[in-house]
Structure formats: C-alpha cells, structure tokens
Amino acid sequence: MKKKLVSAILFAAMSAAVMAGCGNVNVNINDSGADEEVTEEVTEEEVSDQEAADHVADLIDAIYVQEWTEDTDARCAEAREAWDALTDEQKELVEGENADPDYFGRDTGDASKDDPLNQDEIGENEILVVSFGTSFNDSRTEDIGGVEKAIAEANPDWSVRRAFTAQIIINHILARDGEKIDNMKQALDRAVDNGVKNLVVQPTHLMHGYEYDEMVEALKEYASNFESVKVAEPLLGEVGKDATIINDDKKAVAEAVVLEAANEADYEDAAAAAEDGFAFVLMGHGTSHTANVTYDQMQTQMEELGYENVFIGTVEGEPEDTACDVVIDKVAEAGYSKVILRPLMVVAGDHANNDMAGEDEDSWKSMFTASGKFESVDCQIAGLGRIEDVEELYVAHTAAAFDSEPLEAEEAPEDAEAKEDEETDTEEALEAEEPADTEADEEDAETAEAPIPDGTYAAKFTTDNSMFHVNEALDDMGELTVKDGKMTIHVSLASDGILNLFPGTAEDAQKDGAKLLEPTEDTIEYDDGTTDVVNGFDVPVPYLDKEFDLALVGKKGKWYDHKVVVASPEAE
C-alpha cells in the first residue's frame, strides 16, 4: 500500500470517529490488514532517516581530524551538502564519535563579520598572528579579531595575516560557514610564495605551553626561507620556576580582566563586589606542561594585587589546586555566597560556552550550583582578546619582537636532495621485497623484539583524538610490560564507553575471526577520594615512539580508526 493511501485511510477513520461524537479517537483498522503495512512503512522510514543521519555523522567524523590532506576541502563541502539535505527530524538523529546536531546547527554568530586574513599581496614585511582557533564565530571575531586589528593598527607598514593551529577547528569553520582559514603550513607557504623577507610571529597563546613549543618547532623548519623570523612572547610572558614568580605581563592581565569582570557585574572594582558577597572565578584551560605553574602564579598575582575574592581554576584541573571541586571549597571557605564565572582564556570558545557555562551536569556552572554552597552562580562569556588593555599588551609584545634575536633555522642535511633520493630508493627496495602475506607482516610487527629489556615500565599513551584517552587521573600514563621481548601496555580509559579495541584498522576488526581486545574492570581513585569503575585494556605494542593503528568500538556498535603512540618508558 502506498504511503499516501495509508494516510488517507487513517485520516478517514479518525474523521469518522470525530463525527460520531467519540470523546477519544481510537482508530482500529486491524480487519483491513492496513496496520501491518503502516508499521512496515513507518519502520522503513525510520531506518531511512537514521541511515541518512548516520551518513552525515560519518562525514563529520571524517573531517574532525587534526591532519590536513588534499581532499580535506572537498570533504568539508560534502559534509555540509549532506547536512543541508536532511530534514529537521533527521538532523536531530545525527550522532557519531564527534558528530552531533550542534556541529552544523548551533548558532555561534555571523561568520561574515570575521576576516580570515588569508589574502596574498603581503609585501616584504609580515606579522603572522597564530592562534589555536575557535569555531564560535562571535568569539573569533571579537577575541582573535580584536587582537589582530589592534596589531594591524599599530603597525600600518606591515601586513597582518592569520594562522590557526587546530585543523579540527579550521575544518569545522570551512564546512559550516565556508570560511577558509590557513593552518600554520599554509600561512608560511603563503608568506614564502609572496616573497616575505621579514616575518614576525605573534602567538595569542596564554603561555609557553605545548602549543607554543609546537609553533616554534614549525617555524624553525621554515626559518631559512626568510631573511629573519622573530617570535613574540605569549600573553603572560616568561614562565617562572615556581608559584611565587610573577611579572609585569601577569599583573597587567590580572588588572585588566578583574576590572572588566567587576564592571560587567555593575561594580566599580573587585572590592566593591566582595562587599556584596561576590567572588570571581577565572577558569583557564590547564595543562600537563611544566608551564602549568603559570596558573598558580596568576593566583599569587591576584593576592599581590589585593583581589581576595578572585580565584583561578582550570578545566583540566592541572595544576591540581585549580580543579573545580577544589575551587568550590576555596570560595565557600572564604565566605562568599555569590559566584561569577569567567574564562581566563584569550578566546571564549567551546570551553567557555560548554565546560564553564553549559547546562550539562559536569559544567562548572552546574557543579557550583549543585554544591548548594552559593546563593547564585552567574557566567560572563567573554575572552581576554576583546579587552582593550590586553590588546595593547599584545601590541607591546609585537613591538618588542622587532628588536629581538631572530629564530635560528634547523640545520639541513649536507646533501638534502641526495638523502631524499636515498630514502626513496630504500622505500622502493623495501616495497619490492615486501611479501604478499600482509597478515604475516602484522604478526611480525606484533612479535618484533622489544628495544628495551624485560620488565615493567610507566609509559606515555597518547592518541589522535581527545575523546579517546587514558583516564585523567593517570596523566596519560599506562603500565608497559615487556616479557620475552614482547611489549604490552595496560591502559585505563576515561569511562566504560569503549567496549572493545582492535590492534589494527576498523575494517579488519569487523572481519570474521578478528581477535578483539576485551576490557577489564579498572577502579580509578581520584584526588578527592571518589572512585570510578572504567574499562581497561591490554594493548600489544609493536614499537615505541611511532604511531600504530588501534581501532575502537563504542556502545553504538560502530568501529572507528585511530592512531596511538606509546613513548617515554621509565622502569618502575
């Protein structure tokens, strides 16, 4: 029976019931046999809707990656086209490893107001402003754009251009809004192609952390292409050895953000807010990098300035005294009954909107409220980059970089071309000798002799995706066991959401006879004394310090490809 005919029968039956004066419409068309066909029709339609939504989820997951390839732009366009073809009902069904309806559907502002600063005709002098990036359009325009414009206005003889280091964010903006932003390589290639001689790089990073270090390493590879490459300081300047070390940069930022927060709350300053029982909690990102002492230094700076009602926290809880539960206790013990949360981040992006101000139970706003210790908990969603005094500090850092020592280029091999030819010849020889039995190859890789003696080690376990990681209480570490020359690492994950792992690709994991890694039940104890039962796995390690395939399947039953690295083993 056609769908329209089924609808007509239902409509006629319901109309007849209403006309007969029935208080409740109870349509029974069992005798006609139509109910069976209606059920079949609806079921098929639901399956079709889910298949369409799953296709979009797969396309989103495919571009939710940190590596750019030649087909990235086309994949972004394909994902957007597929999303636009969905009905509103189908869009609500989109769910993947990183996909959800908000990826395309969330309103984060007008992207057309943002200038991606990816124009050519640069000239000989360029200031490249490097940011992690954000897909929140308003925040990108006001926070990152605010810094870029301030630097451009202060340096009219230099061309200002932009680079983001997060390819995941670049892809998101391109797919959703059609705005193309350069990654680091693209921005540096653009500078080279435009004949730039003098390059000054101003990072919008908060501190000398992982992102800053990676940026400097990337610049070293390109330094020989310019007459000079100079790198400006991040916002908070140099990192001291302990929590007592502060500097003029930290002081300027502390004064600027606290005054802005107080004024936005309709107070003249922090002291006036304190008199009314208000505390300000400034939430940073947090890091396992040694630079995490910067957050404790900022707390010291607040105390030095007399801001007794200002507290520093971090999303990651690194350092430990900046974790949300610790900060909640600090604020309550200090006697404040009202709380205003605000990001200590250059950009008010995902962390500010979701981790800080989101409605989920694990957001800071929700946890402060759930503690029952405060009369009110409010949020100010604004990045540091839109504060005029902060913008002026970036301008000052850029100006100081003009007089700094240029970055030294990495030393190239004596005969790079010959070395490249030699490597190519070696690869071709290996390919020619490669046996046809790839399964045997995989087995050889798994049984390769370990490069370290038998024993037990603590080792770093890192992945290519922030949703797949070792439990936060373990600092990305697992227990590596080497026995008879074979290596296995036991890792405890963040939850029980990952059901199985497979040492190989997702495609191979679904083949008959594939040996899946079964989970163990691991009990994790957190710093606050609470415990959690999560899934753990014993993962074969073919080699150290090099990526290998490790596929996973979650509760939805869908397999995903991932790359992992096991590194830095230390004997226990």
Query: Got the DSSP string for 484-551?
Result: TTEEEEEEEBSSS-EEEEESS-HHHHTSTT--PBPPEEEEEE-TTS-EEEEEEEEEEES-SSS-EE-E
213 and 136 share one domain:
yes
Do both 19 and 87 map to the same domain? no
pLDDT of residue 45: 61
What pLDDT does 466 receive? 66
Q: Are residues 68 and 2 in the same domain?
A: no
| The two structure tokens encoding residue 462 | 């890192």
Domain of 524: which CATH number? 2.60.40
In a domain, 442, yes or no: no
Same domain, 10 and 37: no
Per-position DSSP letters for 175-218, written without gaps between them: HHH-----BHHHHHHHHHHTT--EEEEEE--SSSSHHHHHHHHH
| 253 and 201 part of one domain | no
Distance separating alpha carbons of residues 304 and 255, to the nearest angstrom: 11
Using alpha carbons, list the distances in angstroms from residue 177 to 113, 134, 286: 11, 13, 30
Q: How far apart are CA 80 and CA 164, in angstroms?
A: 21
| Separation CA 240–CA 190 (nearest Å) | 36
Q: What is the helix, strand, coil percentage profile of the chain, to 5?
A: 45, 20, 40
Residues 372 and 257 in one domain: yes
Domain final residue, candidates 188, 205, 231: 231
Per DSSP bridges, beta strands 486-492 and 520-525 are unpaired
549: β partners: 563
How far the first Cα of the chain sits from its last, in Å, is: 70
- Non-local CB neighbours of 58 within 8 Å, separated by 6+ positions: 96, 99
97 & 132 share domain: no
Answer whether residue 516 is part of any domain.
Answer: yes
Evaluate whether residue 287 is within a structural domain: yes
Within-domain flag for 199 = yes
Nearest one of 335, 334, 291, 298 to 313, comparing CA atoms: 298
Residue numbers of the domain that contains 502? 449-571
Shared-domain flag, residues 72 and 123: no
**Residues forming a β-bridge with 126:** 159, 199
In a domain, 277, yes or no: yes
Does residue 334 lie within any of the structural domains?
yes
Residues 6+ apart with CB under 8 A from 33: none
Looking up residue 183, the CATH number of its domain turns out to be 3.40.50.1400
Residue 268 shares a structural domain with residue 381: yes
Residues in contact with 325: Cβ distance below 8 Å, sequence separation at least 6, in sequence order:
367, 528
- Same domain (yes/no): 381, 252: yes
Peptide bond into 540 cis (omega under 30): no
d(CA 321, CA 284): 13
Query: In the beta sheet, which residues pair with residue 470?
Result: 493
Is the separation of the CB atoms in 136 and 348 below 8 Å? Answer: yes
Pair of tokens at residue 326: 């610790």
Residue 487, Cα to own-chain centre: how many angstroms?
Answer: 30
The Cα–Cα gap between 120 and 122 comes to: 5
One-letter amino acid identity for 207?
A: M
Tell me the C-alpha to C-alpha distance, in Å, between residue 446 and each of 35, 422, 433, 488.
56, 28, 20, 10
Does residue 7 sit in the same domain as residue 43? Answer: no
pLDDT tens for each residue of the chain, 572 residues long: 333 333 333 333 334 333 334 334 343 434 444 444 444 454 556 668 999 999 999 999 999 999 999 999 999 999 999 999 999 999 999 999 999 999 999 999 999 999 999 999 999 999 999 999 999 999 999 999 999 999 999 999 999 999 999 999 999 999 999 999 999 999 999 999 999 999 999 999 999 888 898 899 999 999 999 999 999 999 999 888 888 889 999 999 999 999 999 999 999 999 999 999 999 999 999 888 888 899 999 999 999 999 999 999 999 888 889 999 999 999 999 999 999 999 999 999 999 999 999 999 999 999 999 999 999 999 999 999 999 999 999 999 999 999 999 988 765 444 444 444 444 443 444 334 443 344 434 444 444 567 889 899 999 999 987 678 898 889 889 999 999 889 999 999 988 889 999 999 988 999 988 999 999 999 988 666 677 788 999 999 999 989 999 999 987 688 888 999 999 999 88
- DSSP class of residue 317? -
| In-domain check, residue 397 | no
**415 in a structural domain:** no
Reported pTM: 0.67
Listed as own residue / partner, the contacts of 327-335 with beta carbons closer than 8 Å and 24 or more positions apart are: 327/281, 328/367, 328/368, 328/371, 328/373, 331/279, 331/281, 331/373, 331/374, 332/371, 332/373, 332/374, 334/279, 334/308, 334/309, 335/277
Query: What's at 176, amino acid-wise?
Result: R
Where do we find the tokens 């972004």?
A: 76
Closest CA to 487 of 549, 572, 569: 569
Count of domains forming the chain: 5
Claim to verify: residue 479 and residue 515 sit in the same structural domain:
yes
Q: Hey, what are 4's tokens? A: 């329209």
Do the beta carbons of residue 254 and residue 302 sit within 8 Å? yes
Q: Which residue has the tokens 């640069």?
A: 122
